[in-house]
Each structure stands twice: as structure tokens, then as C-alpha cells.
Structure 1
Amino acid sequence: MVAFSILDLSPITADGNVSQSLENSRRLAQVAEAKGFKRFWLAEHHGMRGIASAATSIVISHVAAGTSRIRVGSGGIMLPNHSPLVIAEQFGTLEALYPGRIDLGLGRAPGTDMNTARALRRNLEAAANNFPQDVIDLIALLGPAAENQQIIAVPGMGSNVPVWLLGSSHYSAHLAGMLGLPFAFASHFAPDMLLTALEIYRERFTPSKFLDKPHVMVGVMAAAADSDAEAEYLFTSMQQSFTALRRGTPGPLPPPVRSMDGLWSDHERTMVEHTLRYAVVGSPQTAEARLQGFLKETGADELIISLPIHDMDARLRSVELFAALPSFDSSTVTG
């Protein structure tokens, strides 16, 4: 048994809008809280017609205001897009508003296409190369002020918001281990380096004031329903989205279809199925079997699931079904 959390991108559906998506995120978090999920994280993406969580700190506040116990945070903030001081102030403010409930997951990727990335941070190479130092600076800004410290974050100083490093390759595994931080791997869209990244993180882990031993969270795409056939039907929305993304034509989350025949080529099908090979799709019995195998393979301490389901009622039903699985552990949830 492990703690379950939810990663949400505030999906904009083909027949919806941004306002509906943001309200759906809050509603999803409320149900997740009631069912005993540990965290509800939102991800920073820019210029994506199907994702409403670009202003991630604001969406976190929107979700946290509608809940009372579940931890709410970023999965993640793409730090090279921002000044560490600005993020310290934003998350220090969130911690002041919702004490003891805020997480700060940090990523190194731009979370967008290269043209939009340039508009966000101007100097792409320098921003990426500065990532390790930016992480260290941000952690310092969230901690107690040192003697004669000239730059302070207000709010932020002394908030000690928990920082996670997120990764889809070996880079952040090395850094998270070196800094003694918890590590979350994006196996829901980047499965190839999962096991080697976890091995590197655990081997290189140095105990710190944050952790005395490695702590791993792994991500999976998911869709649970009362039957395998229904879950597979719901998951075609994600299969269509990934196909469009690989074609360079991303858009709103489409409604599901009864068959993907004619909607992707054989090559696209192989590529998408490879990318989503850790996805947990099926009835409760099928989902539990998939999860048990995945958790055994990774030795993960926590699991975070992303639910790219077009219909909101079906998305909420999926949350309920996951919360009823034998592997679901709500004992670590406080409040």
C-alpha cells in the first residue's frame, strides 16, 4: 500500500472552456480529498490549447481555497522560466494562506515549444544551465534568513515549503540525490529512463535536513471504470491527444471514440503505446493488478496519477474506483 496523489493539468475539453476547466480542477480536488488522496498537484504548461494551468500558482490557490486538508502543489513549476525570488514569494504567499498544505515541485524543462520558451525566458541555454544553482537559491529563500542576507523573500522567508525535484531523465535524479530532496519521475509520459533514474537517485542520495533516506514518487496515466472496455474507451481521449501532440498539432482534450482505427497510423500507434506503456487502464481488478506490478518494479513510496478523461463524471468515478483499491493507502493523510 502506498499514498495516492493526483496530477492535474486542468484539461480544456473540445466542448469546454478555461473557466469550466479550472472549476473542474477544484471539484476533482474536493473529491480526491474526501477519498483520502494525499496530494493534488498542478503542472505548468504554456501555449497549449488543451491545458488551463499555465498560471500555476494562481490555480494552486484556487484549488487550495476549495479544500481543507489535501496537500496542493506544483508538479511542477518549470523553474528556468522564472526568477527563484519570484517563485519564493509566490509559494511563500501560498504557504501563508494555506499553512502546512503546499508543495513545490520543480522541473527543468520549458513546458512548451521553443518559440514560447524564448518568449518566457529569453535566454534558453543560460536558464537551463543555471537550474542547479537556482534550486539551491530558491531553497535558501524559503528557509530562515542568514546573517547579513541581502536578498530576502517576503512572503517566503522561513516558510520552508517542501521542495521536490521532478524529472524525466537522469539529470534531476543526480541532482535530487545530491541535494537530499524527494524525487518524482514522469513515467506517465517518459518511461524509458524510469528504472535507471530511480537507481541513480537512490545510489547518489545524500541525507539532508529534508530527508534521511530516498523518497520516490512515480507518475502514471490512468483511467478506471466499471469494466475494462469502458476504461479503454475513456482512455482513447489521451491516445488521440498524444497522437496529435506527436504530429505537432496539440489541441483540446477530445471526446473518446469506440475505435482508434483510422485515427492513427501503425507507427503512431506503436509510438503512443510505448510512451504510455505504464498507463493503468481498466476495471478495478485490472487496475490493481497493473499497479501492484508497477509498484513492485519501481519500489515507489508514492504514486501520482493523471486522469485524462473527457467526461467530468467519468473522471470523478475513476477517482472513486482508485480510492477503493487494496493498494490505496490513506493512512498518511493528515488533517
Structure 2
Amino acid sequence: MTLPISILDLATIGKGQTARESLAGSVAMAQLAETLGYKRIWYAEHHNMSSIASSATSVLIAHVAANTSTIRLGAGGIMLPNHSPLTIAEQFGTLETLHPGRIDLGLGRAPGSDQNTMRALRRDPMSADSFPQDVQELQGYLTGPTLIKGVEATPGKGTNVPLYILGSSLFGAKLAAALGLPYAFASHFAPNALQDAVAAYRREFKPSEHLAEPYVIAGANVVAADEASYAHQLIQATMRARVSLFFGAGREFTDDEADMVLDSPQGQHIKQMMTYSAVGTPETVVEYLEGFAKHANADELIVAHQANTTEDRLRSVELLAKAAGLGA
């Protein structure tokens, strides 16, 4: 493939796995991806989700950065309305100071949680309304000039950590275009508005001191395996796990129960979330991603390797890299 490929690591806590084991798997994935030629790895901020270990996103990035050497690492993304812009500027300014030239900061405005968790985070339900202003305030702390007189981020000031706007709708696309920032579309779980959002972003993009031309990163799910049948087993297991996550209310569904839910109207939403999924042998996966890149009009792909065990995810990472000719 000619486009760069990056990884969205969901830091999945698999069945029977501890959070510590999941985080060790994230380190192993980053080390492998670094040797194979992936461009970057991002981690997403989620809260109160028993199967995702990336809630303290900046802490995880720091740990992975300390155990790797060259690969870019970042947030895909930080849900900015959960935090003050100054706090995030200090966190990512510190990361960039410790690991210069390796840190990205993707920003989203969703809660990354449910209503009760929003309250536990002390998040104001109206905080998303100030997202555009908060992005600019954050940018001021990192690149200058500060928008809050007399307030500077230390570390942070002058680190110029690159910002990316994340989204799954026209809102993020238009904001990224207006600010002249790169745009990452979450098509790996919210596929519906992909083409409309990318078209709006490219059409309305205004060059800035940070970016001269529009830059689109599009997300897709990947399950690459040595045998196609095994890859399809892995994606089915991933969807079954999501049934338990979304509908289980604290209990695990049996495979038969999960399959019944997936075949119901309620379960169609889970299948729809996985619309953009490359599943099969490495050659099949690369062929799919080449077509998807054109469909998305993307400059870069970011892929979520979907499997419930670290071993299967690492194998998928390896197979895709070799088939796509990364690092060649």
C-alpha cells in the first residue's frame, strides 16, 4: 500500500484477562508495530468500560513511550470536554518534553462514557458546547500565544504538539476545516457520515500555519489471520463480546445468546458499527483497505485490530504489515 497505516489500540481487556495483562499487551503491540513500520499508535479515552484499559490515556502513552523508541504515540482521542484545556496542555506538553517529536493529540467532544459516568467525572452536560473554544485555548498553550492572559502551560508552551480533530459527523469536519487542522474520522465504529464529512472537510479547509493542505485519517477494523475461517471466527467473537458489553448489564452472554441478539433488530446496530471491517487472509485485508482508502478519500488509515486475545491481535498486526509492505 502507498498510504501510511497506523493503529488504534483499544487496550482491550479480553475474557479472563487482567488490566495489567492488557496494558502489557499494548506495550508488546507498540514494540512490534515500531519494528514493522506502522506510522503511529493512538489510544482512546473511555471510562467505566470493563473491557477497555485506556481510561488514563496520557498515563498509558507515557508508559508505552518509555518502552519504545521511535513510533509516534498519541490520543485518539482525548475527550476534551472532560478536562480543562490547561490540564491537557500540561500533560501532553510533558509527554512531548520527555519524548520529543513522537507525541500526537487527537481531540474529541463525546463523553466517552454514559450519563452516570459523566456525573462521576464532574462533567458539565453543556461542556461540549464550548469544544471549539477549548480547542483554541489548548492550542494557545502549546503553540502560543496563550488566550488566557498570564496563564502558560509548563511544560507545554512552545512544544507545538500537533492537534487532530476527531469526529463522526459534519461538526468535527467543519471545525477541523475552519481551524486548518488534520481530521480523523471514526469510521471504525460510526461509519454513516464518512464520505459526507470528508467531502465537507476538504471543501471547506482553510490553510493554517500548522497545515497547508487537508489531511484525512480514516478508521477501519482489521482482523488478519493465516486462515480466512479463523479471521471470521475472531470477528464473530468480537461482536459477541460487544453484545455482552452493550446489553449484558454486568453478565456474560453465551455464544448462542449473543448470536440471537446479533440477529435481532437491536443487534443490527453492532453489526452496522463494524461496516468498515477488513477480515480474512493478509492479501484479502490489504485489498479491502486499498478500496476503503479510495472510498474514504483518505491520506492515512488507522486500523483497530479486532481480536479478544493479545496473541491474535499481534498476529494480525504482523500479517497486515508484511502484506502491505510497511517499512519496505
Partner residue of 1:284?
Answer: 282
Partner SS state of residue 324, structure 1: helix
Partner SS state of residue 153, structure 2: coil
Partner residue of 1:180?
Answer: 180
Partner SS state of residue 130, structure 1: helix
**2:4 aligned with 1:3:** yes
Q: Deviations over 1:176-199 (max 9, x none)?
A: 000000000000000000100001
**2:84 aligned with 1:86:** no
C-alpha distance in 2 between matches for 1:146 and 1:84 = 11
Partner residue of 1:153?
Answer: 153
Partner residue of 2:322?
Answer: 324
Q: Which amino acid aligns with 1:2?
A: L
**2:22 aligned with 1:24:** no
Q: Which amino acid aligns with 2:104?
A: D
In structure 2, which of residues 281, 293, 296 is the aligned counterpart of residue 295 of structure 1? 293
Partner residue of 2:34?
Answer: 33
**Matched-pair contact (CA < 8 Å) for 1:38–1:71:** yes
Distance 1:230-1:211 versus aligned 2 partners, 3 A rule: same
Q: Which moved more, 1:141-150 or 1:73-82?
A: 141-150
Q: Which amino acid aligns with 1:81?
A: N
Q: Which amino acid aligns with 1:228?
A: A
C-alpha distance in 1 between matches for 2:146 and 2:308 = 49
Matches for 1:202-241 after TM superposition, within 5 Å: 202-241=202-241
Q: Point out where structure 2 has 5 or more consecutive residues left out of the alignment.
A: none
Q: Deviations over 1:193-235 (max 9, x none)?
A: 0100001111110000111110000011111001211101111
**Matched-pair contact (CA < 8 Å) for 2:240–2:259:** no
Q: Deviations over 1:156-182 (max 9, x none)?
A: 000000000000111110100000000
Partner SS state of residue 267, structure 1: coil
Q: Which amino acid aligns with 1:107?
A: G
**Matched-pair contact (CA < 8 Å) for 1:243–1:268:** no
C-alpha distance in 2 between matches for 1:3 and 1:66 = 23
Q: 1:260: Cα distance to partner? A: 6.4
TM-score (norm 2): 0.94
Distance 1:148-1:117 versus aligned 2 partners, 3 A rule: closer
Q: Which amino acid aligns with 2:239?
A: Q
**Matched-pair contact (CA < 8 Å) for 1:42–1:56:** yes
C-alpha distance in 1 between matches for 2:148 and 2:313 = 51
Partner residue of 2:72?
Answer: 71
**Matched-pair contact (CA < 8 Å) for 2:262–2:270:** no
Q: Which moved more, 1:275-284 or 1:52-61?
A: 275-284
Q: 1:145: Cα distance to partner? A: 4.5
C-alpha distance in 2 between matches for 1:89 and 1:270 = 42
Q: When the two structures are aligned, how many residues end up with a matched partner?
A: 327
**Matched-pair contact (CA < 8 Å) for 2:146–2:152:** no
**Matched-pair contact (CA < 8 Å) for 1:50–1:251:** no
Q: Which amino acid aligns with 2:316?
A: S
**Matched-pair contact (CA < 8 Å) for 1:46–1:112:** yes
Partner residue of 1:306?
Answer: 304
Q: 1:244: Cα distance to partner? A: 3.0
C-alpha distance in 2 between matches for 1:250 and 1:191 = 27
Q: Which moved more, 1:308-317 or 1:150-159?
A: 308-317
Distance 1:233-1:78 versus aligned 2 partners, 3 A rule: same
**Matched-pair contact (CA < 8 Å) for 1:221–1:276:** yes
C-alpha distance in 2 between matches for 1:216 and 1:250 = 37
Q: Deviations over 1:227-254 (max 9, x none)?
A: 21110111123211332344263789x9
Partner residue of 2:115?
Answer: 114
**2:92 aligned with 1:61:** no
Distance 1:18-1:291 versus aligned 2 partners, 3 A rule: same
Partner SS state of residue 121, structure 2: helix
Partner residue of 1:102?
Answer: 103
**2:131 aligned with 1:138:** no
**Matched-pair contact (CA < 8 Å) for 2:7–2:40:** yes
Q: Point out where structure 1 has 5 or more consecutive residues left out of the alignment.
A: none
Aligned alpha-carbon RMSD (Å): 2.2
Partner SS state of residue 26, structure 2: helix
**Matched-pair contact (CA < 8 Å) for 2:137–2:146:** no
**Matched-pair contact (CA < 8 Å) for 1:228–1:283:** yes
Q: Which amino acid aligns with 2:313?
A: R
Q: Which amino acid aligns with 2:34?
A: E
